[in-house]
A and B are shown apart, each in its own frame.
Chain A
Amino acid sequence: MLRRGFQAAVILGHHGTLPGATHLLPRFNPASAFGSSMESLVSRFCQEMKKSKNYALPNASWGPDMLSLYHEFLEKTKTNGWVRVPSFRSNRDHIQGFKLPLDLSANSDKSDWRLFTRCIEREGQGYEYVIFFQPSEKKSICLFQPGPYLEGVPGFVHGGSLAALIDETFSKTAYLSGEGLLTVNFNIRFKNLIPLGSLAVLNVNVEKIEDQKMYLSCVTQSRDQQTVYAKASGTFLQMHLEEDSSRQ
């Protein structure tokens, strides 16, 4: 399905800084580069994996706010084109059958390695979140209920843990919107602290796609939108994943 005439692996290792357009491999053709349609990206990325547990599902630790907003969006997946993005212990589960560009896969990915935002297994203790993606608008919503292990200032969420979830939501949105893969720039402005155990809603939008880079923005606020917790922006580098024929 994804066999193309061009070799699009972007090799970061050969460059001192992240490549701009001039550092791309000669055969790279931007025009046809990200021809993987969003539909195929979404269907490939969002398929349920039989062997891997999907964490983007309610569990006993979810509070009433988290649950009700989750169900609201679940309804929208049936009527309005929203997609619930599954979430696995490792991002490797999303890209089975595909390989990372050469230099990135230098380290073998061991089975006990975990996605940072899924590192705390115990329900309700760390990150409880689910991402819904709207393909037609290239935007996402992430429902986030932080547990006690994410503490920074006593009683409140650690700024770094929020930054990590925003980066993760950016990453999923960027990938589904056009194969955005690696964070190039990340900027966050903290406005208010999020109390542990409360619900925060991350609204992510793809603002622009230009020169192989995707520009995203995020506003994190309370459900009623009365309190803005943080605003962030991120830039992601688009990278096409080759099918891994050796695995088939």
Chain B
Amino acid sequence: MLRSCTAGLRSIWALRGRREGAPRLSMDLQPARRLFSTEKVIHKDWALPNPSWSKDLKLLFDQFMKKCEDGSWERLPSYKRTSTQESEDFKTYFLDPKLVEEERLSQAQLFTRGFEDGLGFEYVIFKNNDEKRTVCLFQGGPYLQGVPGLLHGGAMATMIDIALGSCTGGAVMTANLNINFKRPVPLCSVVVINSQLDKLEGRKLFLSCNVRSVDEKTLYSEATGLFIKLDPEKSST
């Protein structure tokens, strides 16, 4: 199954193109040093503990894994590249017949999984299917700094985007995000993002979340988001 996933991904890279008029990037670039070039590692599940995880994060992870035992919760795996199914969906909507720079795109990887252990985003998402909500445990590493000593607002926005998206299914895109920052998050601390689907109107998904400290005493931020289900009938452009 892993092999066919990779083959699927490769053909998608070949077929995908760029928007009309987009400039060509210089081809003189050396390819980025490929830390993870083997198939096995491309399909590594990153939503699992590693040595950079703090005690707090590991403890919470264990608590939620326990909740998964009776099937009421499930842990969502997380890969560096979009899954084959998701890629197929986007290929349908965004296919551009123009030639693609395959070499450049083969270096692409999901933004939040491009860091070495502990330096960037360490996170895992647990989903409660009955209640249509998710809990994301997030530890922001030293490369996510904004104001010295604090987590960058944009890094928090990225995680909120991911957490809200985890409550959706199928091919969706973020349309709007609105975030109220209440307290700054110290860099390298662990926060818990509770997200839920509030309302579904046709193809519009209205979601909300809050970001709290592990002991739940501090509310760091609250956010709402609008995601749109992509319509297989329409093209995107």
Contacts and interface: CB of A to CB of B under 8 A. Distances in A.
Contacts of A95: 148
A159 B161 contact: yes
B23 A160 contact: no
B177 A154 contact: no
A114 B104 contact: no
A74 interface: no
B212 interface: no
A143 interface: no
Chain A's interface size range is: 35 or more
Contact of A109 (B91, B94, B149): B149
Contact of A61 (B26, B105, B176): B26
A12 interface: yes
Contacts of A63: 23-26
Nearest to A188: B177
Nearest to A114: B143
A91 B147 contact: yes
Interface stretch (A28-36, A41-49, A116-124, A208-216): A116-124
Contact of B142 (A114, A125, A154, A168): A114
Interface in A158-173: 158-161, 163-168, 171
B182 interface: yes
A124 B33 CA distance: 12
Interface in B164-219: 173-184, 186-188
Contacts, number: 218
Given A90-B145, A153-B90, A154-B16, A164 B154 contact: yes
Given A18-B182, A113-B143, A122-B33, 11 more contacts: A18-B181, A91-B147, A148-B104, A148-B107, A160-B158, A161-B154, A161-B158, A183-B153, A188-B178, A193-B94, A227-B19
28 contacts: A12-B183, A95-B148, A100-B147, A113-B142, A114-B145, A116-B154, A122-B33, A148-B32, A148-B109, A149-B32, A155-B100, A158-B110, A159-B161, A160-B112, A164-B155, A167-B146, A168-B152, A171-B153, A182-B147, A183-B153, A185-B180, A186-B157, A186-B179, A186-B181, A187-B178, A188-B177, A196-B108, A222-B21
Interface of B: 12-13, 16, 18-19, 21-26, 28-29, 32-33, 81-82, 87, 90-91, 94, 100-101, 104-105, 107-112, 114-115, 119-120, 142-150, 152-155, 157-159, 161-162, 173-184, 186-188
Interface of A: 12, 17-18, 60-61, 63-65, 90-92, 95, 100, 104-110, 112-117, 119-120, 122-126, 148-156, 158-161, 163-168, 171, 181-190, 193, 195-199, 222, 224, 227
